[in-house]
Structure 1
Amino acid sequence: MYSPKLQRLRAVDSSSRLRVYQVWKGRNKFFCGGRIIFGPDVKSIFLTLSLILIPVILFWAFVAKHLISLYSHGGGIILVVSSVLLTAYIIVLLFLTSGTDPGIVPRNPQPPDLDDDSSGLSTDWGGSQSSACGVPLTKNVSINGIVVKVKYCQTCMLYRPPRCSHCSICNNCVERFDHHCPWVGQCIGKRNYRFFFMFVSSTTLLCLHVLFSCSINITSIMHKKHCSMWMAIQQSPVSGILITYTFVICWFVGGLTTFHLYLISSNQTTYENFRYQYDRKMNPYNVGIARNCMEVFCSKMPRSRNNFRALIKGDSPVGLYKGPTTDVEMGRRRGIDADDFEDPRNRIGNLGRLERCRTQPRHDHLEERRGNWR
């Protein structure tokens, strides 16, 4: 049982140690003490939010009131309430997509051992070149009877798992890398692809919802005033602006939704579709449309490989981690215990005493030589 004073000292010592997210070598932005991870371009989320919220707020402020009065039986209220719920749902999906670990593969502390065959991968020694540390740049792995090459990442010092790629923007290897999305400011990978697709498809539904509601509003004005569509738009200019805006956006997000539906049905990623073009050769990951869709929508989200809030091993003060930055980049830095410094300190002290003992005779010898010169 520790005394209260010792417990306070241990608490201070623990709080002074660095956590993983504080020395993370990627370009990610961490918030809430490492609980939330964003990409380096996190500010782009505010642009995306403005593109969603500003039109919806205009819809609520200038169109919703007319719709509620138009349908006295409650149809207008349903249109307005459904738009509120759908907008809230989209915002939640946006932050889930942007603030979730996309599937970052932890870096190795050192290059892999050439004699380590535990991964079950066979090295293609004949056809692959070697990296600076002598590790072959590619290895072969069999997936559903098809041999696939996996590459060695010299930054993360590991053989990337199948379908993994290194994002140059985030500076991380990401599992099932799809692409880096500038609109959400995050990589899209194994752990947040489902959120991303739901975000894009829900945004498409919201655009169609606003487009449909504003069209109803314009049509009702035309029938009520017995005027042309141009005159009706002059009566409700916000409706005309929103119809034009949502029509244009629908082509973008709707096309993106359709494209990702194709990728899901064929079990491809955006990176694979543009890089490998699996439609021209056999796709080793395609297991049928039903199973491909179940893999994306019905599978359990894998746990993150990283514990960003974990304390760095060792009890060293914070300042000790600022020095060997290059060693960390090469993956060779380790936690240093305070006890490890005791023996070097003693050695340094002994060396100092020996140096002082050696300098005294040299000092006398110099004085003697000066006397001879005189």
Structure 2
Amino acid sequence: MVYRYKLSEIMCCGRRRKYRRHHDPDLPVQRADVYPGNHIPIAKGRLLLGPDVATYVIAFILICVPSILFFVFTCRYFVQYIGWAVAVPITLIGFLLFMTDMYCLIRVGTIDPGILPKNTECYKEFFDITEDVEPGYHNQEALEAPPNKEIEIDGIVLPLKWCSTCKIYRTPRASHCSRCDCCIERFDHHCPWTGTCIGQRNHRYFFFFVTITTLMCLYGVFACGLQIGITINAFMIQDASLYFGGAFFDVLISCPVSFVLFFYALIMILSVGSLSAYHFYLITQNQTTYDKIQDKFSHKRNPFNHGAKANIIEVLFSPLPASRLCLDQKIVLNEMIQEEAIAERITLEHEDAEQE
């Protein structure tokens, strides 16, 4: 039997989602097609882009354009005037740093940062209809915000807050991001340059990204500075009467690209380098940026702090936890539409009763 496909729309968590719907009402659809949030699932949910795609692309441009100029002008200078023995190592090291940096940027911006599924019909099989709800999961029958719960970790009592938007109990270090419209486990901050939030599942890639970017800028300062120094020395040898300042301006005319890259890398070191150092400090304390801003552990011991070495291993090198979103799974669309329509009708009836 042959079915035709058409473009349809449904309301999912208050947001219109478009997808290709089969005429068969019981056809299962990809959960990624009806994901209730501001992230953008692509490749059937294998990749998950954040809402700030424009600034994410700008971040690629800010790294790729200077890197291409470095390889085209600075590395070519060493090939033409110094020799292959120097040019090959300089080019190879720069290329390895660039490719590693790109890998980390792609990873941090395209994986699930640690999103806790919302209490919607899209995740109905995850719901817990009992009152004893585990953190990060749902209570299907909760019509009003229940009181906060508490959990004890290593002798320290921490609150489990209720998210009125996602209708879930958050895990102890989770927080709701209004930009991404979801709760993020071990929330650190929302980074527009990576297009998404930084949380439990992508914090390591964010740290590696800013650290390798800093190393790449330091390497650029070294290579461009070496070219500028060699060129100044060559001008002064050719003209013994030429003073350093005059040779400096001759270099500015002779190799302007490397000159601009030198100062561009210096500025990036000050901004990205300080960010890398700050996050390394937080990792050694097993704290997040949000923890620090909220001053959560200033008056009590941090139960997640197990020593600098153990903290570094846990945050950067422990196995990556599986995503809770299960975007590759399929759900029956017809049932979800019916249940969402019933829920919407009940909500409207409650509103009408309150107005009367």
Query: TM-score per shorter chain, which class?
Result: 0.7 to 0.9
1:96 aligns with one of 84, 94, 107: 107
1:60 aligns with one of 71, 87, 109: 71
Query: Are 1:324 and 2:335 counterparts?
Result: no
Cα offset for 1:29?
1.1
Query: Are 1:302 and 2:346 counterparts?
Result: no
Tell which deviates more after alignment, 224-233 or 166-175.
224-233
Match for residue 346 of structure 1?
A: none
- Indicate how the Cα distance of structure 1 residues 300 and 14 shifts in structure 2: closer, same or farther if over 3 A, else same: farther
1:224 aligns with one of 234, 237, 249: 234
Match for residue 179 of structure 1?
A: 189
TM-score (norm 2): 0.79
Match for residue 254 of structure 1?
A: 273
Match for residue 301 of structure 2?
A: 282
- Spell out, residue by residue over 1:72-110, the C-alpha distance to the aligned partner (whole angstroms, 9 max, x if none): 361221111211221122111111110000111112349
SS of equivalent to 1:74? helix
Which amino acid in 2 is paired with 1:263? L
Match for residue 199 of structure 1?
A: 209
2:152 aligns with one of 132, 142, 153: 142
Cα offset for 1:223?
1.2
Unmatched runs of 5 consecutive residues or more in structure 2: 5-21, 137-141, 237-241, 348-356
Between the aligned partners of 1:329 and 1:310, the Cα distance in structure 2 is: 28
Match for residue 43 of structure 2?
A: 32
1:293 aligns with one of 312, 332, 336: 312
- Spell out, residue by residue over 1:127-151, the C-alpha distance to the aligned partner (whole angstroms, 9 max, x if none): xxxxx93443411111110111120
Q: How many residues align?
A: 313
Which amino acid in 2 is paired with 1:245? Y
Query: Are 1:82 and 2:93 counterparts?
Result: yes
Match for residue 170 of structure 1?
A: 180
- Indicate how the Cα distance of structure 1 residues 322 and 84 shifts in structure 2: closer, same or farther if over 3 A, else same: farther
Cα contact 2:51–2:179 (8 A) shared by 1: yes
Cα contact 1:60–1:80 (8 A) shared by 2: yes
Unmatched runs of 5 consecutive residues or more in structure 1: 122-131, 331-374
Tell which deviates more after alignment, 290-299 or 134-143.
134-143
Between the aligned partners of 1:258 and 1:279, the Cα distance in structure 2 is: 21
Report percent identity of matched pairs. Answer: 34
Between the aligned partners of 1:254 and 1:46, the Cα distance in structure 2 is: 21
Cα offset for 1:262?
0.5
Match for residue 158 of structure 1?
A: 168
Cα offset for 1:158?
1.2
Cα contact 2:29–2:333 (8 A) shared by 1: no
Which structure carries more strand by proportion? Answer: 2
SS of equivalent to 1:271? helix
Cα offset for 1:43?
2.1
